């Protein structure tokens, strides 16, 4: 009771009333010190006292709580009822009025101040804050001026402004916007003398020991320190002492280098490895200006998501070994696309200069991959620039491949197929092909009357984060467009090739030898036509070789493992005379049947949408950069489920 004696007898009276009613009260003093039975899920009747205690509580304690403006949660009411009840409807979102830079806005209660400012385009500079990570508030760059209406004297009304809101009393010191939430009547100023002085001071401290590495730093051009130094810095340094020396070019993992002199101790990388990747190998050592980021003794930063730390590092402290010193970012063009390493279909941004791809990084999509991607997918682009790319169509003559024109190559392929009936032809396509290409496979099946049709299946890549078990990016596209399960007829087709029943095979985007088909039997086929982007054993055995485009060199759509329809975009041109798969298939079908009237990938999608129910009413452009839900698969994304839990607990903004 000593606690309540410090806050007035009324609180003690309410506390005693609740205790007599058999209520366990958690005491959290605030304001008047009265929170003993806020009925926010923290208060529950003592069941051993029977239903009478509940009745007393409803008549005495609960009315007192309501009189003070405390609203009980649905959880509390359900706990007071003996009979089971239906799940309560989701409560409406409480909105609060907040003034930002002189203008009043409404936000959901609990919104972080920094997010509220972002929503009204009053951007607050920050380093340590990241919406997908916890907020330590250690960089202090997001300091803003904050105020609340002063409490009126007893018996008086608060003074109003011209908008009818209580006038704001501004605090003499700034507060961090990343960890504080908005409240009713709050005022926020992101501009003004106080905030400008705070930011200028923070920037001066951060730059005091920062090296002048900008001319050689990979982060130059997308460095937050550079940007905020221009916007909020002094313009000159008053630091005359020697800068603190720290380790440079430190090998902390197989794919990452660390430059400790550039580190501004934002701790983003530490929080990512601990909270997202479940691999807490990073930490700070020493104190003050000697604070150093390092890996724990005997540990390495080598998990499959390590390169995400490079993305979220606001400066150039962490750099990718793969991209290090390769290209300046202002010379590169960014294109929104997808990762095709597995069925997840992580949204990416491809960075290229000319027709060379230099890197791909994750792009935010909260329905697919949040803002992350695995290292395997991120680095799965070097084959695009490979010296083994197929660049010209070839026809085998006298046991040797000779470069030819597309017209002659298509004619040779069509003539080979005309000599066979449908029972002697197998078409093995790829679940890496786009939906538009798969539609053209369907047309090719109809044109050749092929009896054996399948797609190569790949599985076994799942982890508890983003990697899907299905290693093909468009297996659902095969199911929807072609109507069968990838790999269902592998054994049947392999046996038919060995037995000689199949005399002609069309391999589309797949190395059949690597997929497990009998290489010796493939070499004995009368006709073997293959499309691929790289030289491979199947191409070596083929009578006609047709060079195709990679995922970064074409436009099209795919359906990921969760059933979301997403779009690829063309980032670079194909090398040599390589073509999109849909164009190759169109020309082959045209040679076999006559005319099809398809002139662009958009035309193909229109035909697809007209014939396949799942795509009806859609266009390729309508898919958008974030995709659309198309089919239900009951597949969940582990990393997104964990993110939802952390968001519900208020740990992250999400």
H or E stretch including 169? strand 169-170
pTM here is 0.83
Q: What is the pLDDT of residue 79?
A: 39
Q: Give just the sign of the alpha carbon dihedral 304, 309, 312, 316.
A: negative
| Rounded Cα–Cα distance for residues 467 and 639 (Å) | 10
pLDDT for the residue numbered 414: 95
DSSP for residue 488:
T
Residue 610 tokens read as: 């007209």
Q: 3-state DSSP call for residue 97?
A: strand
Write out residues in the chain with pLDDT < 50, as ranges. 1-85
Q: What's the pLDDT score for residue 598? A: 86
Q: Do you know the residue count of the chain?
A: 654
Q: How far apart are CA 348 and CA 324, in angstroms?
A: 19
Nearest by Cα to 588 from 441, 483, 456: 441
* Beta strand 186-189 pairing with 250-253: unpaired
Report d(CA 15, CA 116) in Å as an integer: 37
Q: What is the pLDDT of residue 86?
A: 53
Reported as a single tens digit per residue, the pLDDT across 484-517 is 999 999 999 999 999 999 999 999 999 999 999 9
Distances (CA, A) of 345 to 246, 308, 361: 40, 17, 13
Quote the strand ranges of 57-149, DSSP E. 95-100, 103-108, 143-148
DSSP string, 577-628: T-B-HHHHHHHHHHHHHS-----SHHHHHHHHHHHSGGGTT--TGGGTTT-E
Tokens describing residue 149? 């209406």
Domains of the chain, CATH where assigned: 2-80 (no CATH), 95-191 (3.10.20.740), 203-320 (3.30.70.20), 394-629 (3.40.50.740)
The pair of three-digit structure tokens given for residue 148, joined into one six-digit string: 């609340």
All residues at 6 or more sequence positions from 543 whose CB lies less than 8 Å from its CB, including other chains? 395, 396, 412, 416, 527, 528, 529
DSSP state of 70: -
Residue 478, SS3 per DSSP: helix
């Amino acid at each position: 009771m000593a606690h309540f004696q410090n806050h007035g007898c009324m609180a003690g009276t309410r506390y005693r009333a609740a205790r007599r009613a058999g209520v366990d009260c958690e005491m959290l003093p605030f304001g008047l010190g009265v929170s003993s039975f806020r009925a926010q899920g923290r208060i529950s009747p003592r069941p051993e006292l029977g239903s009478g205690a509940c009745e007393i509580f409803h008549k005495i304690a609960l009315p007192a709580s309501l009189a003070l403006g405390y609203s009980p949660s649905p959880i509390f009411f359900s706990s007071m009822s003996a009979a089971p009840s239906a799940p309560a409807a989701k409560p409406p979102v409480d909105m609060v009025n907040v003034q930002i830079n002189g203008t009043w806005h409404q936000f959901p209660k609990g919104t972080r101040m920094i997010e509220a400012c972002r929503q009204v385009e009053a951007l607050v500079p920050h380093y340590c804050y990241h919406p997908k990570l916890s907020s330590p508030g250690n960089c202090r760059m997001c300091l803003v001026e904050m105020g609340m209406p002063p409490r009126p004297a007893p018996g008086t009304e608060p003074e109003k402004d011209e908008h009818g809101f209580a006038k704001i009393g501004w605090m003499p010191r700034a507060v961090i916007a990343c960890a504080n939430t908005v409240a009713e009547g709050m005022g926020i100023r992101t501009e003004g003398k106080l905030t400008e002085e705070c930011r200028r001071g923070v920037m001066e401290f951060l730059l005091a020991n920062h090296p002048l590495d900008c001319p050689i730093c990979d982060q130059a051009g997308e460095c937050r320190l550079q940007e905020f130094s221009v916007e909020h810095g002094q313009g000159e340094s008053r630091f005359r002492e020697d800068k603190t020396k720290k380790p440079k070019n430190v090998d902390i993992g197989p794919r990452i280098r660390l430059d400790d002199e550039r580190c501004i101790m934002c701790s983003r990388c530490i929080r990512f490895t601990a909270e997202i990747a479940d691999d807490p190998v990073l930490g700070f050592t020493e104190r003050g200006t000697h604070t150093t980021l390092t890996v724990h003794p005997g540990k390495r930063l080598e998990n499959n998501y390590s390169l995400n730390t490079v993305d979220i590092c606001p400066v150039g402290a962490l750099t990718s070994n793969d991209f290090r010193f390769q290209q300046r970012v202002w010379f590169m063009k960014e294109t929104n696309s997808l990762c095709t390493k597995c069925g997840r279909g992580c949204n990416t941004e491809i960075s290229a200069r000319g027709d060379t791809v230099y890197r791909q990084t994750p792009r935010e999509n909260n329905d697919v991959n949040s803002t992350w991607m695995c290292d395997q997918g991120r680095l799965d682009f070097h084959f695009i620039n490979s010296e083994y790319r197929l660049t010209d169509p070839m026809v085998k003559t006298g046991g040797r491949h000779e470069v030819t024109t597309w017209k002659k190559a298509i004619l040779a392929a069509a003539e080979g197929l005309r000599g066979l009936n449908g029972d002697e032809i197998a078409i093995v396509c790829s679940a890496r092909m786009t939906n538009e290409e798969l539609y053209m496979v369907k047309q090719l099946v109809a044109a050749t009357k092929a009896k054996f049709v399948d797609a190569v299946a790949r599985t076994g890549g799942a982890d508890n984060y983003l990697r899907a078990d299905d290693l093909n990016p468009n297996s659902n596209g095969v199911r929807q467009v072609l109507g069968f399960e990838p790999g269902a007829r592998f054994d049947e087709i392999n046996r038919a090739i060995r037995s000689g029943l199949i005399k002609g095979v069309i391999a589309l985007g797949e190395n059949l030898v690597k997929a497990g088909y009998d290489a010796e039997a493939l070499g004995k086929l009368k006709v073997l036509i293959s499309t691929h982007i790289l030289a491979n054993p199947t191409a070596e055995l083929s009578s006609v070789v047709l060079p195709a485009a990679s995922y970064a060199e074409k436009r099209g759509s795919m359906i990921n493992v969760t059933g979301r329809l997403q779009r690829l975009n063309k980032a670079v041109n194909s090398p040599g005379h390589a073509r999109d798969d849909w164009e190759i298939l169109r020309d082959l079908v045209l040679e076999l049947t006559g005319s099809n009237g398809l002139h662009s990938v958009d035309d193909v999608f229109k035909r697809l949408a007209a014939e396949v129910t799942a795509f009806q009413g859609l266009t390729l452009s309508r898919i958008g950069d974030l995709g659309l839900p198309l089919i239900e698969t009951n597949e969940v994304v582990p990393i997104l489920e964990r993110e939802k839990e952390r968001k519900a607990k208020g740990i992250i903004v999400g």
